[in-house]
Amino acid sequence: MTKNKKPVTIHDVAKAAGVAVGSASRALNNAADVTPEIRERILSAARALNYTRLRRRSVRPVNGHGTVAANVAVVCFGMEDALVQLPSVSTAIHAVEEAVSAEGGMFMFASIPRGDRVPAFLAEGRVAGVIVKGPNQGELPAPADNELLRAIYRVPHVWMMGRLPNALGDHCNFDAEMAGRLAAEHVTARGHRRVAFLNPKPGHAQFEHMKRAFCERSRALGAEAEVLEHATAAPLAWPLPGMTSPERVEELARQWHATPKSRRATAIMVGADMTAVQLYHSLGRIGVAAGRDVGIVSCNDERSLTAGLNPGLSTLDVRADAIGRNALARLLWQARQSGATAPAKILVEPVLVERESVPAL
Inter-axis angle of helices 320-336 and 87-102, to 10 degrees?
40
Sign of CA dihedral 312, 316, 317, 318: negative
CB neighbour class for 64 (10 Å; exposed up to 12, middle 13-18, buried from 19): exposed
Q: In what order do the strands lie in the sheet with 129-133?
A: 107-112, 72-77, 129-133, 157-160, 170-174, 345-348
Q: What is the maximal distance between C-alpha atoms in the chain? A: 78
Question: How far is Cα of residue 29 from the mean position of the Cα atoms in its chain?
Answer: 28
pLDDT reported for residue 63: 41
Three-class SS of residue 196? strand
Alpha-helical (H) ranges within 63-204 are 87-102, 120-123, 147-153, 176-189
Q: How far is CA 69 from CA 62, 100, 127, 247, 271, in A?
A: 5, 7, 11, 47, 36
Question: pLDDT per residue over 46-97, tens digit each?
Answer: 889 887 654 333 344 444 444 445 899 999 999 887 566 789 998 999 999 9
The residue type at 168: L
pLDDT reported for residue 84: 67
pLDDT reported for residue 6: 58
pLDDT reported for residue 69: 54
Domain 1-53, architecture per CATH: Orthogonal Bundle (1.10)
pLDDT reported for residue 15: 84
Rounded distance between C-alpha atoms, residue 263 and residue 293, angstroms: 14
Rounded distance between C-alpha atoms, residue 91 and residue 321, angstroms: 6
pLDDT reported for residue 11: 66
Q: In what order do the strands lie in the sheet with 224-229?
A: 224-229, 194-199, 267-270, 295-300, 314-317, 351-353
Q: Are 154 and 125 in contact (CB under 8 A)?
A: no
DSSP-derived secondary structure letter, 144: G
User: CA-based angle 67:69:71, to the nearest 5?
Assistant: 135
Domain ranges of the chain: 1-53, 176-319
Which residues lie closer than 8 Å to 95 by C-beta, 6 or more apart? 320, 321, 322, 323, 324, 325, 328
pLDDT reported for residue 227: 98
CATH of 176-319, one of 3.40.50.2300, 3.30.1300.10, 1.10.760.10, 1.10.260.40: 3.40.50.2300
> 208-217: buried (b, 16+ CB within 10 Å) or exposed (e) per residue?
bbbbebbbeb
Per-residue pLDDT of the chain (361 residues; tens, 9 = 90+): 344 455 676 767 878 988 866 677 667 766 666 787 888 898 898 889 887 654 333 344 444 444 445 899 999 999 887 566 789 998 999 999 988 987 678 899 998 999 999 999 999 999 999 999 999 999 999 999 999 999 999 999 999 999 999 999 999 999 999 999 999 999 999 999 999 999 999 999 999 999 999 999 999 999 999 999 988 766 788 988 877 889 999 999 999 999 999 999 999 999 999 999 999 999 999 999 999 999 999 999 999 999 999 999 999 999 999 999 999 999 999 988 877 778 999 999 999 999 999 999 9
